[in-house]
Chain A
Amino acid sequence: MTAHLMFQPDQARQLQTCIHCGLCLPSCPTYMVTGREADSPRGRLVLMNSIDRHEWSDRSGHFVHIDRCLGCLACETACPSGVPYGSLLEQVRSFQRREVTPLKLGSRTILRWTTAPVLRRRLTRLLAWLQKLRLDRLAVRLRLLPRPLRMQLAGLPKLPAKSFTAAAEQRFEPRHPEGIHRETVALFAGCVMDSWFANVHAATVRVMQWNGYTVIVPAGQHCCGALHAHAGIDTATGAKGERVGDMSAFSQTGAAALIVNSAGCGAHLKHAAADGLPQVVDAVEWLVDNGLLPPVHKLPEKVTYDAPCHLFHAQKIVQQPEALLRAACENLIPLPESEVCCGSAGLYSLTEPDLSRQILGRKLAMLEKVDAEIVATANPGCQMQIQGGLKLDGQRRQVRHTLEILDAAYSLDETYRRVFAE
């Protein structure tokens, strides 16, 4: 038998659990677009095996198809034999980055500027300034930038003045008027979420408080490293002061759960979090599984839900978002192919712009068929990708985080508004 190039014996055995049945094919967004076996999970597993057996060369094209994988893990949902595709993919990408092709400069730069604290602060300031002068709209309208960047710019939320986390730990006590008191949880703020989606964090904290939870937001948090892992970058070798993947801020909190409201981070942390941390739970999962206080009034707007892959496929959180939205919205309209990737997938929209655009196109076509004013989702990448796509497509719909929608539904009640007006 040939020696394995990159897989451990147990991983090689996991690869063998693929019985080549092909049930994953129709679930794969890249296969949907190209119809090419090499762009399907089954094809990629064949390629991984072939790489592992030293059968590749610089010109053989194996890694082209590995690069094209979104890592959405829809194939894991479809797979009847439980092939752990995601972990095999990360192993291959890590090998690729080490031995074959380092991550491209553009991707490295973007990773750095979005996840390293100091650089991110500068980027945020620059973008906020652009938004203030409405230069972002101009850039989008005049097509001053390449399309992928324009789309990101168009999909950017209105940037808050400051990030959500502060220099010191913050603690939010329960705020339900009937004095409901439940566990203490810690909120993971993340990188992009912390700087650009502070509103989502604020909404998350409010609904947690209203549901009787104490929320602590520790200071000194760092990027979880999900983007790095998906790109095959070893987080330990990050630049000075980056401390990617350092979760030590949570080890002493004594919280019942580490609440994550970004699907990508949640999936990564559930998979990779070190011992000694509170149990990692998605915010929606936590709220619904522990009994959600239903809003008194429901939002009248027509809402549809696009499932983030790292919630649906990676974390298998399928029922809870729908249950939550049904409690919060009068008109929840099912979105066909809701569980199919939108083409955001971390850096994918920048590294594989053509495929990403085609995959997004399918999503936008589905959205166009659905009569909804608001699209709910639960991941910053998806939110920006879909919002940007909708804007460039001329569809006037808002993309919101599921918890923002719950917060808005609670806010229809006067007591809720009064409690949090203080």
Chain B
Amino acid sequence: MTMARTWPHAGQPVIPDSSGDLAAWVQRAREQKVSIGGPLAEHSIDFSALRQTSPFNPADMVLTTGVGQTLDQVKAHVAAEGLWLPLDTPMGGFMPLADYLGNDLSLSWLSHRYGTARDWVMGMTAIDDSGSPVTWGAKVVKNVAGYLLSPLYIGSRHALGLMVEVSLRLIPLPTGLCRVNIAASTPEPLLNIWRGTVRPRSSGLQTDPWEAIRLKGQAGEWQLEGLTYAPRGEIDGWIGLTEGVRGVEVTPCEGVPNEPVTTSQPVRIGRFLPANLGQAIALETGREKELIIYPATGAALFFGAGASPLAASIEASGGQVVEAGDWQRKSSVPGDDTALYMQKVKSILDPDSIFGPLWEAS
């Protein structure tokens, strides 16, 4: 039974205890012309109580769960059955899926091989602007029946509708991975090592031994960190006689370790083509207090708001630098109409702006 409740004080979130309760809040919002959920709505939502997990058969390799479960909880839950959700985040997996997916924080050291959240969400249930639950997709690993709306909802910060349940595709949990950490005082030798591992071999094949990889710079220290199945001997072979390498650590893993968590929130995200990475990073003088680069995907996380030579170089070579979690600034990027059509979708799915605006009017 949903109890009639009053709106929380300003700055306090609505805390629904079930999806039915959330639907009631949306209906109430519609009746009382109050906005709820979206990034600029009057009331935000704390999804953490929506933790209902549907019966889970590991053999199906799909988990359907309420969005109140945190990413870490979901991963631990399926790891117990030998399964893996190959998504991660450098921001720490302690946030509920609603926030992880709503803000799409899924860029991680796994992304070059496993993509991002949109690649693993097979179906979703959300509360629409009339307060009714609507479902799309399916609870199986392969489905093309109907429109799949999740790619619109992921990252749109609850402004189209409020996700309450997701179905996630899983794969077997890898075994026998090693964690590799190569340290240097400048980025160049690490970039050379990375390039050496993905360069076409004599067989003409372009291989990629990395399950996860990132390049991290902090206080003049650089590290190439990743996960691989390659044995120690092969790893030593990658490094060879590369000058400037200060140390190599190879540790066998139990399961798959999470990406190390950053010391603070990234402020901007840069996107560029991996092939331009060398020229871009050569300009980086260490002014960023912390810098994470995913070399194979061409993404970089910046932690400082000020001028950055790397960010400038990325923009100069045709890449994008956007505020973290503020994807809509894409609209300022020539040649991408996503923002325009997202606004259109917003006007179709939430014409009365029950969830507040999609973003601030510019």
* Chain A in direct contact with chain B (Cβ < 8 angstroms): no
